[in-house]
Amino acid sequence: MTVLTVFRDEYRNPRPLRFKIIEDGEEKTVEVSDILKEENVGAGWMSRIEYTCQSNGVRGLIKYKLLYYYNTGKWSILRI
C-alpha cells in the first residue's frame, strides 16, 4: 500500500493525506477526508500509530483504520 503523508509535529509523526489500494484488480486513490482518532499503541518493536479515518466514497462515508508501524515505516489498512 502506498500512502502519502506529511510530518506535522516535533515528534515527526506521519499524518496520512491519501493512499492507493488495489481493489478488484484496479488501483484506486483514496483521499483521507477526516482523521477521527489518533492513538499510539504497543511498545518496543510492535509500536504503531492507529488512525481512525473516514473518506467520502461513492456510497457515502467509509470508515477504516490506517496503521503506521514505527519499526518498519510501513502502513496497513483495516476496514471498520
- The angle subtended at Cα 70 by Cα 52 and Cα 35, nearest 5°, is 20
- Cα separation of 75 and 15, whole Å? 12
Grid-cell match 502502513, residue found: 75
* pLDDT score at 34: 92
| pTM score of the predicted model | 0.79
Cell of 49: 500509530
Which residue range forms the structural domain that includes residue 25? 2-79
* pLDDT score at 35: 92
CB 21 within 8 A of CB 1: yes
- Cα separation of 11 and 79, whole Å? 27
Number of domains in the chain: 1
- For residue 45, report the phi and psi dihedrals to the nearest 5 degrees: -70, -15
Taking 50 as the pLDDT cut, the residues of the chain under it are: none
* pLDDT score at 2: 67
| pLDDT tens by residue, 31-46 | 899 999 999 998 777 7
